[in-house]
Amino acid sequence: MKRINSIFIALIALATLITACSDEFLDRQPEGQFSEGDVATAEGVEGLLIGAYNMVPGGGLTGQTWHNDIHSWVFNIASDDALKGTDAGDQPEQSFIEAYDFQSFNRHIRDKWRGLYKGVAATNNVISTLENVEDIDAARKEQIIAEARFLRGLFHFEARKMWRMPTYISDADFVLNDLESTKVPNDREIWPLIEADFEAAAGVLPTTQGDVGRPTSWAAKAFLAKAKMFQGWDTSGAANTAKLGEAKVVLDDILNNGPFSLMAKFADNFLVSTRNNAESIFEVQYAISSATGDAANRGIGLAHPYTDPWGCCGFYQASQNLVNAYKTEAGLPQLDTFDDVDVTADVDPTTTLSLFTGTVDPRLDHTVGRPGILYKGFKIYQTDFVRDLSYAGPFFAMKHVAEPEAFGQGGWGNLSANNYRIMRLDMVILWLAEAEVELGNLERARELVNMIRTRAANPEGFVPRATQGTDRNDFTIEAGTPAANYDIATYDTAWTDQDTARKAVRFETRLEFALEGHRFFDLQRWGISAEVLNAYVASESEHRTYLAGRSFAAGKNEFFPIPIEAIDRSAVDGQPTLTQDPAY
């Protein structure tokens, strides 16, 4: 394990103390403060920078972990990929999110804001403090600023995904011991400022880092491209070809000149043993030991199966709609008809193997737990994995769950060091395919999508069939025999219709990144949320009756309301500096 993980563990207490002294945006007066001179040294500012990194996973905000988790799984339950899971009475705030009843007093929405802007404060504290540090050389100073600006861009990026008009707070605004300094109005579009942070970071950061977890220039470029992709369509779904053209330049550079390559097996992006691999551009680092789990992936701990060895807590189940999307016909997705016939959850009562014999994309069983199929090497998945079968159905999320060899290394078994691969080469490839479609380069888009599908078709990466032993946790793997009727092919006929090509690329994006926290925001940036999600509710409510009567409000539910607490506490001279989204 490289040095950054050791830094996270050794300095976690320092990071907590230091970031607690920053302005926890619009929250409350800190109970204790360091003077600026206490940390205005080379060692002190390095500690402040680690404190800023500590905010990235989302667990550095006192009082909660999952509300602000970087996976954004709590907010992805508003997509067609995921259900809240567990049972009806658990975490009612999440039930409101799932039902598109977004309220400005929802604690999850409030804490997402608090956590992100505490991260912004931590980065600005680094930059501001650095001005008074004398015992540091110019080259390292430049690198620290670049890392801080990368992180500041990341925090603001996550805010701009969540809210239509969040505020942007710069180091010029920030004064450590002045709570008024960060009460900056949300009266401007912040995408240009986010891009500026990533551009500045890309111009200074090295192409490689000695510590995993620190961004490279390639990571900054990738997030710059992602910011441009989020501006690639307007709310009606019309393409902004100028912005997509800008993104294409950056994405081409990463793909053609970067040191990255697709892993041979899709599952290698979701294992502790294959962290920081050749496909990874930037990962949120986690660490765990028998001594501490403070740097583990605590924010997604609730989203584990309800059966042993986890035993808690059953959140974040997969929708029937998502499972159906993995069906194939002649190896290709059923772009228009995928939800007409369900992938069933029935198993043979004797063998306990799945009775569904239709063809499916092999990525399904690396993404979703379904009855009769081996679940990430632990045991054969059955409906005892879910807390309330009648409520949220038979399917469960899987990618974030650590493999057996990495389970139980610290106190709570659900905690692990399974990094969040927030930026990977497959993302770059499919964003580039999106841009190529809108720019009229359909055959290049087909080529890019086929790169992803070729990797998915590698039989060495298929989940193997497993047969049940006498004990519930025992099984035997049938070597060389796939767990299901996997059939995946490349698109071998030329793409000549832009609408069909667009649909194929977006469908591929869903299959590749399902349950990683992106789907809700992908629909948002494409300008198709209402169309897709209202059709989803109509279908999914046939299985999950509690969704009946719910609807997604176009022009409103694409974004969340600004927390009322943030607005109230933004007041200067009795007047709030933040204004609510007019849709709310």
CA dihedral sign of residues 518, 521, 525, 530: positive
Neighbours of 43 (CB within 10 A): 11
Host H or E run for residue 464: strand 464-468
- pTM for this model (two decimals): 0.93
Say which residues have a Cβ less than 8 Å from residue 513's Cβ, sequence separation at least 6: 426, 427, 519, 522
The C-alpha atoms of residue 526 and residue 428 are separated, in whole angstroms, by 16
The answer to whether the beta carbons of residues 524 and 543 sit under 8 Å apart is no
Using the CB atoms, write b or e for 350-374: b if 16+ within 10 Å.
eebbbebeeebbbbbbbbbbbbbbb
Q: Give the pLDDT confidence score for residue 16 in this predicted structure.
A: 38
Q: What's the number of CA atoms in the CB half-sphere (13 Å) around residue 213?
A: 24
Closest of 410, 292, 298, 420 to residue 11, by C-alpha: 292
The C-alpha atoms of residue 512 and residue 506 are separated, in whole angstroms, by 10
- Inter-axis angle of helices 217-229 and 425-438, to 10 degrees? 40
3-state secondary structure of 534: helix
The answer to whether the beta carbons of residues 352 and 372 sit under 8 Å apart is yes
The answer to whether the beta carbons of residues 73 and 30 sit under 8 Å apart is no
Beta bridge partners, 117, equal none
The answer to whether the beta carbons of residues 450 and 434 sit under 8 Å apart is no
First vs last Cα of the chain: how many Å apart?
47
Q: What are φ and ψ of residue 360, in 5° steps?
A: -140, 155
Along the 584 residues of the chain, how does pLDDT read in single tens digits?
Answer: 344 444 444 344 343 333 333 333 233 333 334 455 678 999 999 999 999 999 999 977 665 678 999 999 999 999 999 999 999 999 999 999 999 999 999 999 999 999 999 999 999 999 999 999 999 999 999 999 999 999 999 999 999 999 999 999 999 999 988 989 999 999 999 999 999 999 999 999 999 999 999 999 999 999 999 999 999 999 999 999 999 999 999 999 999 999 999 999 999 999 999 999 999 999 999 999 888 888 999 999 999 999 999 999 999 999 999 999 999 999 999 999 999 999 999 999 999 999 999 999 999 999 999 999 999 999 999 999 999 999 999 999 999 999 999 998 888 889 999 999 999 999 999 999 999 999 999 999 999 999 999 999 999 999 999 999 999 999 999 999 999 999 999 999 999 999 999 999 999 999 999 999 999 999 999 999 999 999 999 999 999 999 999 999 999 999 999 999 999 999 999 999 999 999 99
Q: Is 352 left (phi over 0), alpha (psi -120 to 50) or beta?
A: left
The answer to whether the beta carbons of residues 153 and 109 sit under 8 Å apart is no
317: burial class by Cβ within 10 Å (0-12, 13-18, 19+)?
Answer: buried
- State the virtual CA torsion across 229, 231, 236, 240 in degrees, nearest 10: -80
Long-range CB pairs of 443-450, under 8 A, 24+ apart, other chains included: 443/494, 443/495, 445/495, 445/501, 445/505, 446/491, 446/494, 446/495, 446/501, 446/504, 449/491, 449/504, 449/505, 449/508, 450/490, 450/491
Beta bridge partners, 332, equal 329
The C-alpha atoms of residue 480 and residue 484 are separated, in whole angstroms, by 12
3-state secondary structure of 570: coil
> Per residue, what are the HEC states of 213-260?
CCCCHHHHHHHHHHHHHCCCECCCCCECHHHHHHHHHHHHHHHHHCCC
The C-alpha atoms of residue 343 and residue 358 are separated, in whole angstroms, by 8
Outline where 1-59 has alpha helix (H).
3-10, 12-21, 36-39, 42-54
Q: Give the pLDDT confidence score for residue 290 in this predicted structure.
A: 81
Say whether the peptide bond before residue 313 is cis (omega within 30 degrees of 0).
Answer: yes
The C-alpha atoms of residue 285 and residue 57 are separated, in whole angstroms, by 8
The answer to whether the beta carbons of residues 327 and 334 sit under 8 Å apart is yes
The C-alpha atoms of residue 470 and residue 400 are separated, in whole angstroms, by 29
36: burial class by Cβ within 10 Å (0-12, 13-18, 19+)?
Answer: middle
The answer to whether the beta carbons of residues 361 and 326 sit under 8 Å apart is yes
92: burial class by Cβ within 10 Å (0-12, 13-18, 19+)?
Answer: exposed
Host H or E run for residue 89: none
Maximum distance among all alpha carbons in the chain? 73
Host H or E run for residue 367: helix 364-367
The C-alpha atoms of residue 345 and residue 388 are separated, in whole angstroms, by 15
Domain ranges of the chain: 298-417+455-542
Tokens 């053209």, residue? 245
CA dihedral sign of residues 461, 80, 416, 512: positive
Which CATH number applies to 298-417+455-542?
A: 1.25.40.390
